[in-house]
Structure 1
């Protein structure tokens, strides 16, 4: 089982981005395609269910968007989603149904599956968060290496060259990230895994596990 493949990470029925993710093997291969996918998808959305606001921004009529939120297209905000005070959505963002984008949270080039929560002071860039994934307050995805080199994914089977300079994290379904954690470039976290608060995470973290610190990962019982 390769935790870092799309089919192992995500329940594709829980995102409008299913056609995009079905077209790739590794989820990060979808990152350069998010922009065009949103533009194509937006034009197909029902006018009864979605309102087009501004250029290339589609917001579900049932979504709640704070007047202080800043949204740049292309962007889709799904049904019953909530975008809170001073959220900053910088474009290329697909926010799933029932998702929460919290106060002062910043999004850029992301797919948030249905019911994802990034509710308090989060930065999520060049990342894909699976169904019901949750990032604790102040946790972020770091999407550029300090040496500015292309990101590699460190797997148990060896490194995978992504060819991408900006790549944050891939979170599987129902991942829980503790408050104040940093997910380093190229992080992949398997579904149903918990990350301890204040963690610095890199590489692949197995599914159904508890990440306590680098080198100390326990299997859930």
Structure 2
């Protein structure tokens, strides 16, 4: 098998994005555009992978991690100049080099491999991936000769009116004989409207030298579309979302309304789980089998076990067990663990707490910095008072404890196994196992006194 190399161009700032974030780092379905490209080329056996960085180089390097060698381009003088930065790594080596752009998040490994295989099968010096665009404005046009062979590529700003009418465009993805690539890169000039060194000019030079250059056409234009502004970013997001949703449905997940379901690229969902409309699943969320999620749920970086229900609720950076019921209108904040068969009901907020198996907080409860055992019942309106204005403290509640409605558990405090806290109590001291705790003042009724308050309207 031939030796293969990959170069990703990611040095541009992307001024049309009008953003402080560098273009290739803008996310599509929860993942930076550049990361999508890296993940796809990671499916192909490349000997070397290089990313050409420039603007925001440190941030871009952090995105690349150890998946490729980052090469710094001090001045951005065009695509040919960018590729030339890799000569220290590649010049003189035999093999095939693929050049891609870091702002094409929809490109797939299958398409890249098809281009490489086509070039190598044709024994060509280079192959360019082309597509037919409904609106080719902004793209380089593919000019063919009378026999239909590639003649040249003309950039949009340099094209004549006749050439601008051509709808076959250069996607900016190429496969080269590596030695010829670096031999002819040195000959590229910048006599054009932009004063830049264009990589497509290498193809023209190869053709002039009677080297074979071929065009490989893909039927999937949207896959090769570059992202240069926010409108194109939204279009890429929509296409990627449709692709992701389709893949989940093919794996046995039910999406009752795919057009209104939003799932990030790195999420995993088990078979027979049903995702209802308005649901947003982001980050590295993992959902088990047989769950019911939504409608209008938002899950971020969480793990959810099998046969759990999450209805109209928010879960962030937390772990949810099997057969758990959450919602409607619950909020599970980061670093929470909800064990099997627990119930977190409507208008319950859980923050950095562990809820034991079978325990229930059915409604209108705040559990912050709490550790609950198994089969604990938290009454309506109960609050773990975890903050004294400076520090956070924990509340511990033992197995089988019953906490009555409208109780305040002032941390740090422990409630023993099987203990009972009477409704309306404010608990400031620990409660032993099986004890009854009552902490409320005695009721006093003053007969006829309400008449003296004179608060009634229209007496």
How high is the TM-score relative to the length of structure 1?
0.63
For 2:341, the equivalent position in structure 1 comes to 98
The Cα of 1:168 is off from its aligned counterpart by: 3.7
The Cα of 1:55 is off from its aligned counterpart by: 4.5
For 2:372, the equivalent position in structure 1 comes to 129
For 2:204, the equivalent position in structure 1 comes to none
Contact 1:124 1:168 in 2 (8 A): no
| Greater relative contact order (Cα < 8 A, sep 6+) | 1
For 2:409, the equivalent position in structure 1 comes to 183
Q: Which runs of 4+ in 1 moved over 6 A?
A: none
Contact 2:334 2:351 in 1 (8 A): yes
**Alignment gaps of 5+ in structure 2:** 1-269, 274-284, 288-298, 441-459
Deviations 1:3-62 (CA, angstroms, capped at 9, x unpaired): xxxxxxxxxxxxxxxxxxxxxxxxxxxxxxxxxxxxxxxxxxxx78x9715653011131
Does residue 1:72 correspond to 2:291, yes or no? no
Note the 1:1-221 alignment, pairs <5 A: 52=286, 55-66=300-311, 68-73=312-317, 75-145=318-388, 148-149=389-390, 165-213=391-439
For 2:155, the equivalent position in structure 1 comes to none
Backbone CA RMSD of aligned residues: 2.2
Give the direction of change, closer, same or farther, for the CA distance of 1:55–1:103 in structure 2 (3 Å limit): closer
The Cα of 1:203 is off from its aligned counterpart by: 2.1
The Cα of 1:128 is off from its aligned counterpart by: 0.1
Larger radius of gyration: 2
For 1:37, the equivalent position in structure 2 comes to none
CA distance in structure 2 between the partners assigned to 1:72 and 1:144 by the alignment: 21
- SS of the residue corresponding to residue 115 of structure 1 reads coil
**Alignment gaps of 5+ in structure 1:** 1-46, 150-164, 215-221
The Cα of 1:213 is off from its aligned counterpart by: 2.1
For 1:12, the equivalent position in structure 2 comes to none
Deviations 1:167-188 (CA, angstroms, capped at 9, x unpaired): 2411001110000000012110
CA distance in structure 2 between the partners assigned to 1:134 and 1:188 by the alignment: 15
Higher helix share: 2
Number of equivalenced pairs: 150
The Cα of 1:90 is off from its aligned counterpart by: 1.2
- SS of the residue corresponding to residue 353 of structure 2 reads strand
Higher strand share: 1
How high is the TM-score relative to the length of structure 2?
0.31
Contact 1:168 1:184 in 2 (8 A): no
For 1:28, the equivalent position in structure 2 comes to none
CA distance in structure 2 between the partners assigned to 1:171 and 1:110 by the alignment: 11
